[in-house]
Amino acid sequence: MNTAQKTQAENKAAAPPLPGNVSAPAGKRPYASALGPIKSGGTIIGFALLVAAFGLMRPDVFLTFGNLRNVLEQVAILAIIAAVQTVVMVVGNFDLSVGATASVSGAVVAQLLIAGQGTAVAVAGALVVGALVGAVNGYLTAYLKLSAFVATLATMTSVSGLAFITTDGTTLFGLPQGFMSLGQGRWLGLPIPIFMAAAVALVVWFVLRNTTIGRRWHAVGGNAEVAKLSGVNVNRVRFLAFVVAGVGAALAGVVLTSRLASATATSGDSYMLLAIAAVFLGMTISKEGTANIGGTLIGVGILGVLSNGLNIIGVSTYVQQFLTGIIIIAAVAFSRLGNKGVS
């Protein structure tokens, strides 16, 4: 019926003969900046310098296998929490409740064990608690559209309260030996938490990179509006990221309880800020400035080496804390500096 119009339209379309591909001669690397390579490598170089500095100061202590193992053991739990925080931050949110979730899960596993449950049941119970907290966070942010800051700050507060209720404000101990091997046992001469952290990081890396949900996390984090209008179920994708964070935090709490052979209402709290700091440090190594698991691990490494090294050379924990803050600012500011010339 409209063939006549088509031919007419096509005739008009044939108007100016244009030569071949003309639009993008300069488009090869349009946003590359001179600072690019330094910027993305800066944090890694900083990490290397840090190791070298401590190594030079105390080669006898710092650069030993035993100390390396110590560092790894110290950061294992942080690495687990930071890995799942990475997922939430890839989606463009963050979760302030991971520390409190670790605390409450650690308390729950301890109470279940004390009540005579088997290790498997107790651990599963703790993970379910973590998943529930994550689900609440996810529901509030994804479906009720609360800001992640408000939602997770609120759950952090409530969950902290639950942790106190669970422990009754006391320190829970007297846990069975079988459970303790989770945090204190060794395999191939290395503490088991190291393997767990490595496994979590590997899984997160693989999921973020190669699975459909992982790619959707990236898409939503990059431009949620585009993702939504392309048919991605943005709410569900966000929701799942928070559930993952909850479960990961709970796992970390379980390992922590096992390692300490006890649980208190606040054991895991301090990991929240450190985990976010690690992810931020890690974001500085990606050109796009997005959260990424490799970077997060380097961030965790920096924080771990810093605390270990400063301990070895005898710096007080207060000064350590001060220096940690400065280092985070320096790393992030430096990477922003590199960004400025681009936009």
Partner 1 sequence: MTTTIQHVLEAEGITKHFDGVFALDGVDLRIRPGEIHALLGENGAGKSTLIKILTGVYSPDAGSIRVEAQPMAFKGVGAAHKAGVVALYQELSIVPNVSVAENIVLGDELPSRGGLVDWKELRRVARKQLERLNQGHIPVHRMAGRLTPVQQTMVAVARAIAVEAKVLILDEPTAALTDHEIQDLFRVLRSLRAEGVAILYVSHRLEEVFELCDRATIMRNGTVITTTEVADTTIDEVISTMVGRRQDELFPARGVPGPGTAVEVAGLSGRRVKDASFSVRPGEVLGIGGLAGSGRSELLRIIAGAQRSSSGRIVVDGQECSHRTVAAALDRGIALVPEERRSQGVVLSQSIGENIAVGNLKAISKWGLVAGSRIRSLASNSIAELQIKSRGHQQIVGQLSGGNQQKVVLAKYLARNPKVLLLDEPTRGIDVGTKSEIYGLIRRLATQGTAVIVVSSELPELIGLADRIILMHEGRISGEVPAEGADEEQLLTYCYGRAAS
Question: What DSSP character marks residue 142?
Answer: I
Are 287 and 40 contacting, i.e. CB atoms less than 8 angstroms apart? yes
Cα first-last separation, the chain: 51
Taking the complex as a whole, how short is the minimal distance between the CB of residue 342 and partner 1, in angstroms? 10
Output 75 or 142, the one with its CB closest to partner 1: 142
CA 177 to each of CA 64, 82, 104, 192, 229: distance values in angstroms, whole numbers, following the listed order: 30, 28, 21, 15, 53
Taking the complex as a whole, how short is the minimal distance between the CB of residue 38 and partner 1, in angstroms? 18
How many CA within 13 A on the CB side of residue 225?
Answer: 0
Taking the complex as a whole, how short is the minimal distance between the CB of residue 214 and partner 1, in angstroms? 8
Output 30 or 189, the one with its CB closest to partner 1: 30
Output 3 or 177, the one with its CB closest to partner 1: 3
CB neighbour class for 14 (10 Å; exposed up to 12, middle 13-18, buried from 19): exposed
CA distance 172 to 74: 22
Output 91 or 272, the one with its CB closest to partner 1: 91
Taking the complex as a whole, how short is the minimal distance between the CB of residue 236 and partner 1, in angstroms? 11
**288-293: which pairs have CB atoms within 8 A and are 24 or more residues apart?**
289/335, 289/339, 290/90, 290/218, 290/221, 290/222, 291/86, 291/89, 291/90, 291/221, 292/86, 292/90, 292/208, 293/83, 293/86, 293/201, 293/204, 293/205, 293/208
For 243, the token pair is 């559930």
Q: Which residues bind partner 1 (CB under 8 A)?
A: 1-2, 4-6, 8-10, 12-13, 16, 18-19, 21-27, 29-31, 210-215, 218-219, 221-223, 225-233, 287-288, 290, 341
Output 64 or 211, the one with its CB closest to partner 1: 211
Taking the complex as a whole, how short is the minimal distance between the CB of residue 187 and partner 1, in angstroms? 29
Taking the complex as a whole, how short is the minimal distance between the CB of residue 100 and partner 1, in angstroms? 30
Taking the complex as a whole, how short is the minimal distance between the CB of residue 225 and partner 1, in angstroms? 7
Output 30 or 66, the one with its CB closest to partner 1: 30
Output 16 or 174, the one with its CB closest to partner 1: 16
